[in-house]
Structure 1
Amino acid sequence: MTSERSGADILIETLTELGVEVVFGYPGGAVLPIYDALFKQDKIRHILVRQEGGAAHAAEGYARSSGKIGVVLVTSGPGATNAVTGITDALMDSIPMLVITGQVGTSLIGSDAFQECDTVGITRHCTKHNYLVKDPAELEGTIREAFHIATSGRPGPVLIDLPKDVQVAQARSKPMPVHPGYRPQTEPDPKLIETAVEMLAAAERPVFYTGGGIINSGPAASAALRELQALTGAPVTSTLMGLGAYPASGDAWLGMLGMHGTYEANWAMNQADLIVNLGARFDDRVTGRLDAFAPNARKIHIDIDRSSINKIIRAELGIVADVGRAMEAMIALWKQRGHKAQDLDNWFGRINGWRALKSLDFPNSTTEIMPQHAIRRLWEATKHRDPIITTEVGQHQMWSAQHFHFEQPNKWLTSGGLGTMGYGLPAAIGAQIANPDALVIDIAGEASIQMNIQELGTATQYNLPVKIFILNNEYMGMVRQWQDLTYAGRYSHSYSDALPDFVKLAEAYGWKGMRIEDPAALDGGIAEMLAYPGPVMVDCRVAKLANCLPMIPSGAAHTDMILQANEVSGEMDDEAKALV
C-alpha cells in the first residue's frame, strides 16, 4: 500500500490481502470507523453475533472446522472484556485467532474515559501476543506479524488494540521486517527421529498417545498418523482434543484416555513399555496422579511447543517439531531401514482382555431415555453424513466423546483446556459459516446452552441450519455427579430450577422446537430433526441421575477407574484385577 489510507481502511485492506473472508463481531463506539470501512467493501463477510463472547467462540468454531484463522472484531471496554473467556479458551486449545479491539483515543488512554480498559494488560496472559498500535503507519506490519504468530508454531490468539484516532488517521504503511523475532521450529532433528524410530521398532508394548496438535497440523498429519500406525501396528489412544485424527473404527483404536476414558486406554498406557506422545501435553485429566502415571514406560514427546516437553512428565526423548513433519520423517526412515511391525499379538491379547470389560456399557431403560443411548442413536442416524459435532461442557460433552465415533479430523469441536460452558452454540454457528453444506449439531446440556443462548438469533439472521440436541436432565450434571462422589450427595445449587420451555424459546427465535420424552420416540424425533431444513432445537429429556463413567476420581491414579459395575464402591472387581 503506497498511498495514504485511514487506519480503518489499512486494516480491512490488509485482512483482505491475507485471505480473511469472515469476521465475527459486534459494533460499538470505539470501532465505528472500522465498521464504516466494512460497509464500503464486499470482500469480507461480517457475522453479527449477539454478545462478544459469542464472537470469540464462533471464531473458534470457524477456525477449528476449517483450518483457517478466526477473526474477531469488538469494541473497547466491555466489548473486549466480554471476549476474554473465548480468547483464553483459544489459548488453552491452541486455536488460531486474531482479535481486534477498539480503544479510546490515544490522548484519553489512562484517563478512565468512557468504555476504556487496559485491554493489553488484561489479555497479556491469555494471548500468544498482543499489541497496542499508536501509529497507523505501523498497522499493516502489525497485522501481518499478528497473523504469523497466531497461525505458526503452536497456534493461538493474538490481539491488536486499536485506538479510535488511529483508525481515523491517514498514513502510508511503513515496510517492516518479516517477523524477525518469532521463528518456531517445525522440522525435526534427524538424529532424534532416528532414535525415536529405533525405540519404536524395539518396543513390545507401544502406545501412540495422540492429541489436538495432530489436528492443528492439518489433514496431512492425520494421514501420517494412520500410515505410521499401519507400519508399526501400535495401538492408538487420544485426548479429548485429538478425537478424529485416527478413525474410531480402526482395529487399533483404544478410545479416549484420561478421566472419562476407556478402561483399555488407561490400562494400556499404564502397562506400556513405550508411550509415543504425538501433539499432546500430558495434562492432569490424562495423567491422574503423576507419581502413578505409566511407571514402566519410556516416553517420547513430540510437540511444536518447546515449553510443553518435560513440563509435566519427564520424557526420555523430546522432539521439538511440527508433529505432522515429525511423523512423516519417522515413516520415511522406518521404510528406509526396512523395519517391520513387531509381533504385538501378546500385547493386543492383553488389550482385548481389557476391552472385554466393555467399560462404556451402561444400563438401558424402556421407561426413560438414557443419555448415552441418545448419543449412540444420534451417531447411528448421522454417521453417513459425517457431521460436525460441537458441545457445551459437562456430562453431555464426555458422553459425546465416548459414544459419538469420529472418523475424520476437524469434525469434533469442544472446549477442552478451559472447559467453557456456552461454547457449543456459537462454535456451531462458526462451523456452519465455514462449512455451509455440512450437518452441524451442538450436543448440549440444559444448563450450558443457556450460557450463550442469545446466539440463536445469530443463526436465525444468517439462515444457518444448526441443530441443537439438548440432553436435559434438569441438573448441572457433572457438578451433581461430583457432589454425589465427594460431598455425600449434598446437591448445593446444582439443580436447574426454573428452566425455560425450550420448545417455545426456540420458536420465539424462529427455530423449530421439539421435545422427546419417550425412548420409543427417540429415533423418530432424531429423524424429524435431521429432515427439517432449518435450525432445530431438541429438548431430549433424559434420566436425571445417570453418571458419566468410567471416571477417575480427582487425585487418583489413572488406573483407579470407577466403572458402571463398581460405581457404588469404586473398587476394582476380581475380573478386572486379573487382566492387569
Structure 2
Amino acid sequence: MKITGSQVVIECLVEQGVDTIFGYPGGAILNIYDELYKNSDRIRHILTAHEQGAAHAADGYARATGKTGVVFATSGPGATNLVTGIATAYMDSSPMVAITCNVPSSLLGKDSFQEIDITGVTMPITKHNFMVRRVEDLAFTIREAFLIAKSGRPGPVLIDIPKEVTAALVDFEPLAAGDDGMAKAAAGNGNLRRVFSVAEPTDEEIAAAAELINSAERPVIYAGGGVVISGAEKELLEFAEKADIPVSESLMARSAFPSKHPLCTWMVGMHGTKASNMAITESDLVLALGARFSDRVTSDASKFAQNSRVFQIDIDPAEINKNIPTCGSLVGDIGQILKRLIPLVDSKKHGGWVKQVQEWMKEVPSCYAKDPKDSINPKFICEYINKVAGDDAFITTEVGQHQMWTAQFYPFSKPRTFVTSGGLGTMGFGTGAAIGIQCALPKARVVHIAGDGSFRMNCNELATIQHYNLPIVIVVMNNGALGNVRMWQRLFYGKRFSQTTLDFGPDWVKLAEAYGIQGFRARNAKEFASVFDKAFASGKAAVIDARVDIDEMVLPMVPGGKPIYNQIMELSSEMMD
C-alpha cells in the first residue's frame, strides 16, 4: 500500500496510541497538518498560542499520564521555540516526541527562509534526534523514537523531516492488529540502531543491599523523581513502613510519598525542612532512590551525608557516583528492585531515630505564623487549595517562590499530582503543563499556582484555555516582584533590588476578562477563601490575583555553597528592615 510521508506520520502515531498532539502549524509542516485535518476523528490537535506552550503541554500530558507526549512545530523559529520545552523535559526525564519539518533537502545548508539545523541545536537536550532524509526510513524512525523516549530513563526525542519527504510516496506496512508498536520498533529493517534495555541486579546484589539496610541504625530514604517515573509509590510506602525508615523527598518526588505519613519528612535541600536536612546529615545510611543529587539538594557536596554511607538505586548507570560517592549501588527499575528488596529487609522499628526525626519536623520558621490583613500567607493559600480541591487535584507551578511554597506546604498524597519544572527551573512552564494535564484527563481538576513574574511569560496561553473550555483555576501569587531573585538580593546583595520590582501591569483580572475568562482579586485570607470557592465551584477557567507581601521569604533556606545543615530558619530584624 503506497501512502505519503504525511500519512505515514499519522498512521505511526495512531499505532503508538497517540490520541492528542499539541502544536502550531507553518509552511514546512503543512503536508502533515493537511493529513491531520483528514484524520481529526482519530487524533485530536490542540493549537496553543506559542510553540513553547505546546512543548510544555506535551510535557505535562506525559508527566500526568506516564504516556509519551507529542508536539508538532514547523521549521526555523517554530522549531527553535520548542527548545526550552524540550530541555525542560530532558532535565526532568519526561518522555516526549517532537516532530518538526524543515525546508526541502535541496534548500538545506543555503540559509533558506526559516531554515535551522534543529537536530544540531537539540543534540545536547534530547535522548536522541533524527533527520529523516528518505521516506522509506520514516515509519521505522517514528517507531524507534517512541521506543527511545519511553525505555530506560525516559526523555525527549526529536524527529526533523524535510518537506519533500512528507509528500513522497512509499510502501507502508502497518503493524498487525494487536502488535505492540514499542516492541515492533524495528519493523521494516529488523535492526534497532539503539537498544535501551533495563539492567536487572543479581540475587546476590539484592541480598547484599538488604543486608546493608538491615544493619543500619539511622537510615533515611532520599526519594527522587525516578520513584514517580517508575510508578513505584506503593513499593516505596511498603518498603519504608516495613523497615521503619524516614522518607525525604526531592522537589520532583513531592508526590511520591504521602505528605501526612509520620515517616514523611517532606522536601530536602536548599528549601527543605530541618527534618529532611538533619536526617540526611545525622544518618548512618542514605538510600537514594531515583535521585540524581542535584546541587539544590546537596549544596556543599563535600559535606553532604559526610558521616553516612550512601547507597544509590537508579535506572541510569551514568548517575551512579556522578555527584556523590557511594558505598554501593543497584542499577535498574526502582519499582522492580524494591519488590525484590521488601521480602529481604527486616520488619523492625527505629524508635529513637524516628522520634528524633519527628522532633525536627516540629521546627519550622515562625514567620509563617503571621496573618497579614493586607496580603495572604502563602501557606494558607496552599493549604486552602488542598482543602477545597482535595487530594485528587493536579497542581502545577511555574518557578520561583510560589513553587517552593507549594513544595513546602501543599500536602500531596497521590502520585503524579504535582507537576513542576525541576532541573531546568523553567519560568513559563506551568500554564502549558496545566493545559496538557487537563487535555489528557478531562475529568480531573487542575489548579495552577503561578507567580506574577513567571505568569508574564506564558499568559498568552489563556487563549488556549478559553478556546478549549479547560476548567483550569490559576492562582497568581502576586507579590509585585521577581520574588526569589529579590530574596537573594535582600540577603546577599545589600538590598540592591536591581530590576526585580514588577510595579507595572498587567491587571490580571482585566487580562483574564479580555480573554473571556473570569477574574478575581483577593487581598487577604478571607477574600481568597471566598473567591477560590467561587472559582473552583464554577467548573470553568478562572484567574485569581492573590496578593502576597513583597518581602515574604522562603524559609528554611541554605545559602548557596553552604552545607545543608546550615539553614537560615529565622530572619534578623536587620535582614527585614
> Above 0.5 in TM-score?
yes
Structure 1 match to 2:520: 514
One of 36, 39, 58 as aligned partner of 1:38: 36
Contact 1:360 1:549 in 2 (8 A): no
One of 534, 537, 544 as aligned partner of 1:531: 537
Contact 1:360 1:402 in 2 (8 A): no
For 2:312, give the aligned amino acid: H
Structure 1 match to 2:180: none
- Higher mean alpha-carbon deviation, 24-33 vs 510-519, is at 510-519
Partner Cα distance (1:56, 1:106) in 2: 25
Partner Cα distance (1:178, 1:515) in 2: 59
Q: Report the number of matched residues.
A: 560
Matched, 1:113 2:119: no
Partner Cα distance (2:327, 2:194) in 1: 30
Q: 1:242-269: per-residue Cα shift (whole Å, max 9, x none)?
A: 1111101111000110111000100000
Partner Cα distance (1:179, 1:243) in 2: 36
Matched, 1:277 2:288: yes
Partner Cα distance (1:520, 1:243) in 2: 28
Structure 2 match to 1:434: 440
Shift of residue 364, structure 1, vs aligned partner: 1.2
Partner Cα distance (2:217, 2:365) in 1: 25
Q: 1:10-68: per-residue Cα shift (whole Å, max 9, x none)?
A: 01001101100000000000000000110111211100011000010000110000111
Matched, 1:312 2:345: no
Structure 1 match to 2:389: 382
Structure 1 match to 2:245: 234
Structure 2 match to 1:8: 6
Shift of residue 354, structure 1, vs aligned partner: 1.4
Partner Cα distance (1:74, 1:190) in 2: 47
Shift of residue 481, structure 1, vs aligned partner: 0.2
Q: 1:197-235: per-residue Cα shift (whole Å, max 9, x none)?
A: 1111111000111011011112xx111101111110101
One of 188, 193, 205 as aligned partner of 1:175: 188
Partner Cα distance (2:567, 2:320) in 1: 27
Aligned CA distance change for structure 1 residues 283 and 366 (closer, same or farther; 3 Å): closer
Secondary structure in 1 matching 2:79: helix
Structure 1 match to 2:225: 212
Partner Cα distance (2:367, 2:437) in 1: 31
Structure 2 match to 1:501: 507
Shift of residue 359, structure 1, vs aligned partner: 4.2
Secondary structure in 1 matching 2:568: coil
Partner Cα distance (2:106, 2:545) in 1: 52
State the superposition RMSD in angstroms. Answer: 1.5
Contact 1:188 1:325 in 2 (8 A): no
Structure 1 match to 2:549: 543
Contact 2:22 2:45 in 1 (8 A): yes
One of 425, 431, 435 as aligned partner of 1:425: 431
Any gaps of 5 or more consecutive residues in structure 1? 571-580
Secondary structure in 2 matching 1:124: helix
Aligned CA distance change for structure 1 residues 359 and 518 (closer, same or farther; 3 Å): closer
Secondary structure in 1 matching 2:526: helix
Structure 2 match to 1:575: none
Partner Cα distance (1:498, 1:361) in 2: 28
For 1:351, give the aligned amino acid: V
Matched, 1:483 2:489: yes
Secondary structure in 2 matching 1:46: strand
Partner Cα distance (2:410, 2:299) in 1: 24
Shift of residue 345, structure 1, vs aligned partner: 1.2
Structure 2 match to 1:247: 258
For 1:14, give the aligned amino acid: C
Partner Cα distance (2:366, 2:304) in 1: 22
Structure 2 match to 1:73: 72
Partner Cα distance (2:164, 2:76) in 1: 16
Shift of residue 178, structure 1, vs aligned partner: 5.2
Matched, 1:300 2:311: yes
Contact 2:491 2:575 in 1 (8 A): no
Aligned CA distance change for structure 1 residues 319 and 359 (closer, same or farther; 3 Å): farther
Contact 1:189 1:319 in 2 (8 A): no
Structure 2 match to 1:187: 200
Structure 2 match to 1:452: 458
Contact 2:380 2:525 in 1 (8 A): no
Structure 2 match to 1:102: 101
Q: 1:424-479: per-residue Cα shift (whole Å, max 9, x none)?
A: 11100000001111110110011101101111111111110011000000000001
Sequence identity of aligned pairs in percent? Answer: 44
- Higher mean alpha-carbon deviation, 561-570 vs 151-160, is at 561-570
For 1:446, give the aligned amino acid: D
Contact 1:240 1:416 in 2 (8 A): yes
Structure 1 match to 2:559: 553
Contact 1:394 1:445 in 2 (8 A): yes
Structure 2 match to 1:130: 129
Secondary structure in 1 matching 2:133: coil
Matched, 1:260 2:276: no
